Amino acid sequence: MIHPKIPLAQTVVQLCKLKNIKHIVISPGSRNAPLTIGFTNDDFFTCYSIVDERSAAFFALGIAQQIHKPVVLICTSGSALLNYYPAVAEAFYSDIPLIVLSADRPKHLIGIGDGQTINQKNVFENHILYSADLKLDLKDENRLSEKEDLPIFKSLENRLERILGLQQGIQNDNEQDINEAFDLARLKKGPVHINIPFDEPLYETVEVLSVRPKVKTLDLKSPKIDDVEIKDCVDEWYAANRKIILVGVLPPNQIEQKWLNELANDDSVLVFTETTSNLHHPDFFPNIDKMIGDLTEADFKALRPDILLTFGGMVVSKKIKKFLRDYQPKHHWHVDMKSANDTFFCLDKHIVAAPNAFFSEFLPKITHTAKSNYLPYWLEIKKQRHKRHLDYIKQIPFSDFKVFAAILKSIPFKSILQLGNSSTVRYAQLFNLNKSLEVFCNRGTSGIDGSTSTAVGCAAATPTKQTTFITGDLSFFYDSNALWNNYIPKNFRIILVNNSGGGIFRILPGHKNTPNFDYFFETTHNLTAKHLCEMFKFEYHQARDQEQLNASLKTFYNKSKTPKLLEIFTPRTENDDILLDYFEFLNS
């Protein structure tokens, strides 16, 4: 087998193999050649070549999101590394394991005016679990100079021992850093960065390894839930007649159904679930904005909980955030292994546990439920609002709202739904989704910059399962390099809702329909995805009215020789009024 000659490159590659880290996303470059040689010449690894580093990082994130294991990113030196930052931040806030391996110049070649050179050490300082700046191997000529005129053999022996000792110390330190970084990415679920200096020559290879790195494993034991804390929770639970459980982003299959059923059977509990929570029960409240939009002050007071229990990641709904900040509960508990955001400014308990582990300890100790009309009352409101929701859809014209009503019903059963940010995920929150779907969205930082690349990475990691990506036009065109990718499966589908600009800004306060607003906020445009599809070999379809949309959806998921994209053109200036009128209609 061919290996890079540089011992440090060998060490990184071998430790990835020993740690069973298989997926390697490489962006072309020269300084990272030793790593590229090592990984691509070993059949143990699945290697991907993605030119655009920003897209590559989100592609890797999409893979890691699905396999729940670390994925490696490799780039050359210089600004290439900075292009990883949006995905690194997303991974940091979304608990997704990424390993960034950045090639760098030796220290003596940094800051002297060489090209493709920046200060790479700890560059992700505020959004990383661990940063390591590895040490440069001693070059062969520095290990033992045969040209040096040594008077006696003892001098040669002393120099050999000293040089070998220095190199062994370097090797040990590097192995320690690499082992720790890899384990933290896996155990703490987040991004780590290893900066790796390589001196030239970079392309030399050998057939026999010169190092045999040792695996060291971190022992991070899960903390046991404190019995006293559980007792306090039980006591407070019994004393409260109104509890709300609010669930943010959560991967599928995280909570046992028996615990969900127990929560749903408690008349003093309302369970609000976001579309990204992947939790379902007939008596849960999955459309939060539809449920609480335009409630009266009296309604909000009646809804105000004594206890708010939250778990999962970021919450999309601004309406639930405003409600719980204006009508704060007496107690807010957050259950999470890593951190607890004081989102509603009343957090009093961070229960350090996985949610399912907490419910396994907590719910068996709840031997009776409070007598309450809390759940029955709001279930009736839910029923009324759902009827109004259906009535509203029947009467509105072709628009974003009407489009989402159609496309969300069309997603195939037992498939993956990837949602773009901004308007897309917010519209999805208003509709009941098929509970067999697995729903994902980059809500860690909520940016539009890598949604398409993440969806492509997800599809590449799960080629036997249908992946559908729904996105808006600005998000899609912003990340169009996501289609510059040789790993997109044929069953991948993109639904692009093109309303010719950033339509969400028309809903926010501002002076819309002015030249300044149109140009700098809404960023109106006349772009279409047709030519991108031709360039990247996507089968292209379009719809400009309800009839065309219904016809397109009938065959859109059929087998095809290439991936497909359906572009739906909606009226730019009507969508905001239709959405705002919706909430008034619900409460009328």
CATH code: domain of residue 289: 3.40.50.1220
8, 269, 272, 274, 372 from 377: Cα distances, Å: 65, 11, 15, 21, 9
The first and second tokens of residue 49, run together, are 């070549």
Q: Are residues 173 and 276 in the same domain?
A: no
Q: Are residues 278 and 348 in the same domain?
A: yes
d(CA 433, CA 411): 9
- Does residue 356 form part of some domain? yes
- Does residue 388 form part of some domain? no
User: What pLDDT does residue 144 have?
Assistant: 41
Which residue, of 177, 206, 235, is where some domain finishes?
Answer: 206
Q: What is the pLDDT of residues 542-568, one digit of tens each?
A: 999 999 999 999 999 999 999 999 999
User: What pLDDT does residue 223 have?
Assistant: 81
Which residue, of 206, 239, 274, is where some domain finishes?
Answer: 206
Residue 574 lies in domain: 396-587
Domain count, the chain: 3
Q: Are residues 417 and 373 in the same domain?
A: no
Low-confidence stretches of the chain (pLDDT < 50) are 141-151
- Does residue 216 form part of some domain? no
- Does residue 523 form part of some domain? yes
Which CATH number do you get for residue 152? 3.40.50.970
Which residue, of 148, 176, 206, is where some domain finishes?
Answer: 206
**Counting beta carbons within 10 angstroms of the beta carbon of residue 233, is it exposed (0 to 12), middle (13 to 18) or buried (19 or more)?**
buried
pTM of the model: 0.93
Q: Are residues 80 and 34 in the same domain?
A: yes
Q: Are residues 90 and 182 in the same domain?
A: yes
Judge contact between 552 and 544, C-beta under 8 A. Answer: no
Q: What is the pLDDT of residues 475-524, one digit of tens each?
A: 999 999 999 999 999 999 999 999 987 556 556 566 666 666 665 666 77
Q: Are residues 498 and 578 in the same domain?
A: yes
User: What pLDDT does residue 9 have?
Assistant: 98
β-sheet bridge partners, residue 157: none
- Does residue 36 form part of some domain? yes
Q: Chain-centre distance of CA 198, in angstroms?
A: 31
Q: Are residues 186 and 281 in the same domain?
A: no
Q: Are residues 244 and 370 in the same domain?
A: yes
- Does residue 451 form part of some domain? yes
User: What pLDDT does residue 502 have?
Assistant: 57
Q: Are residues 147 and 267 in the same domain?
A: no
DSSP for 27-65, please give it: ---STTHHHHHHHHT-TTSEEEE-SSHHHHHHHHHHHHH
- Does residue 200 form part of some domain? yes
Q: Are residues 196 and 241 in the same domain?
A: no
Q: Are residues 185 and 296 in the same domain?
A: no
289, 344, 570, 575 from 580: Cα distances, Å: 12, 25, 17, 9
- Does residue 105 form part of some domain? yes
**Residue with tokens 């335009």, as numbered in its chain:** 294
**Residue 288: closest CA among 325, 321, 262, 256:** 321
d(CA 455, CA 416): 9
Q: Are residues 47 and 185 in the same domain?
A: yes
